Amino acid sequence: MIENFQYKGNSLFLDDVELKSLAHQFGTPLIVLSEKRINNNYLKIKSAFSKHFRHFKVHYALKANSNPAVISILRRLGAGADAANPNEAEIAMYSGISPDNIIMTGNNLSYNDLKRALEMNIKINFDDVNQMNILKNELPDIISFRINPGYGNGEFTGIKTAGPSSKFGIPVNEALNGYRTALNAGVKKFGIHMMAGSNNLDPGYFYELSGIFAGIIKTINNELGISFDFIDIGGGFGVPYKNEAALDINETARLIAMALDGIMDSNPDAEIIIEPGRYLVADAGIALATVTDLKNYGRSIAGTDLGMNILIRPALYGAVHEIICINKNDDKLFNYDITGQICENTDFTGLNVKLPGLEPGDILGIMNAGAYVSSMSSNYNSLSRAAEVLISDDNVHLIKKRDDIRDIINNTFIPGHLL
């Protein structure tokens, strides 16, 4: 059981708040987040890296969970923002993060996207030299490229964000050309970025990857005579979904520092930046779903009010989330396939899940729902996305209301001749 969660009798509590009571108060589907857990996760990773780097900054990856309340928690702790596009950058600013603490790392951005970023005065990690060239005579003060080191890893193929099959970043030779072009245009400040994969649990992977990155940085330092104002090593710090051992973040930070040690003399003023998302918020959240129907035609299927419009990761990647019953804690368990209301046969939240004997009205909890759940949700089948609440000390705050049908149709229009 993840820390902060505890059964008291047959009922599951998060930070001493009974989850069943929240389901009854706010309805389901419902995502419940723990401010305390987010705080603890941030302080753990900040402490691990601050031991090794004089200039260091955490930039929270908004793609994991872009709720302004979540961003505000991390902003108050000192985090900046990693934005994938200008919209995420604007959400970060709305949540109180200053433009100088926002870096946008997008791909296939349009001129208008890049122009908006310049107008917001945020930093840009260019995904391609052509993206920089789009701006022509409007180059930002600092030029940074996302490097594809030719190697990457992730829990699934779809979240491996470097290597020959990846759409992200550029090889070192292209980066050299880009930095050289920027130098010739009079640019004096430079950054460099790499993000090679997501949800990794092996400290050795980060050591290997950081060693490759250090070699690339050294090549650019030597060939162009430039030093970097920031070195952005990305994220990818994982959390266990299937009873794996947790990532040793202290060992990870130590190994990354060891791998980068040889290039720090050439980049003495560089700020080291990391971009955790999942690591900060995944295990701070649980998604609650009510059992609405039970079928047993050769296998037991528990239908719920939470489908792949809210949690798409199992259908998209084959991801596995731990699923528990929050109002029963029996020792006798049965196998269930858990599904939702979507008209797709991929709409399974979990397969062969061991749970107490279920009845309609029971409430299931899907763990690690703080990251890549709400931010990847949709209104497919015209269904509502989940409401979201935040437990903060002894208080529970609604931080996102559930969609109603008016929200779903408000941005649509019927031409007059069809009325």
The DSSP string of 71-138 is: HHHHHHHT-EEEESSHHHHHHHHHTT--GGGEEE--SS--HHHHHHHHHHT-EEEESSHHHHHHTGGG
Report the alpha-carbon angle 148-151-157, nearest 5.
100
CA distance 79 to 89: 14
Phi-psi category of 146—alpha, beta or left, where left has phi over 0 and alpha has psi -120 to 50?
beta
313 appears as a binding residue in the annotation: yes
Exactly one of 137, 164, 186, 343 is catalytic; which is it?
A: 343
**Has 251 been labeled as part of a binding site?**
no
398 token code pair: 């609604």
Pairing mode of beta strands 300-304, 285-296: antiparallel
Q: Are 4 and 361 in contact (CB under 8 A)?
A: no
278 is in an annotated binding site: yes
The sign of the CA dihedral 11, 12, 17, 20 is: negative
Q: What is the C-alpha to C-alpha distance for residues 248 and 240, in angstroms, rounded to an integer? A: 11
**Annotated catalytic, 325?**
no
Is 205 annotated in a binding site? The answer is no
Tell me whether residue 388 is annotated as binding: no
356 contacts 332 by C-beta, under 8 angstroms: yes
Instruction: Using alpha carbons, select from 49, 52, 16, 46 the residue that is nearest to residue 34.
Output: 16
CA-based nearest residue to 386, from 321, 325, 310, 305: 310
Task: State yes or no: cis peptide before 29, omega within 30 of 0.
Answer: yes
Ramachandran bin of 232, using left for φ above 0, alpha for ψ from -120 to 50, beta for the remaining angles: beta
Instruction: State both tokens at 84.
Output: 């994938």
Is position 276 annotated in a ligand binding site?
yes
**90 belongs to an annotated ligand binding site:** no
Cα separation of the two ends of the chain: 55
Binding residue ranges for substrate? 278, 313, 317, 344, 372
Tell me which residues are annotated as active site.
Answer: 343
Extract the annotated binding site for pyridoxal 5'-phosphate. Answer: 236, 275-278, 372
Q: Annotated binding site: which residue ranges? A: 236, 275-278, 313, 317, 344, 372
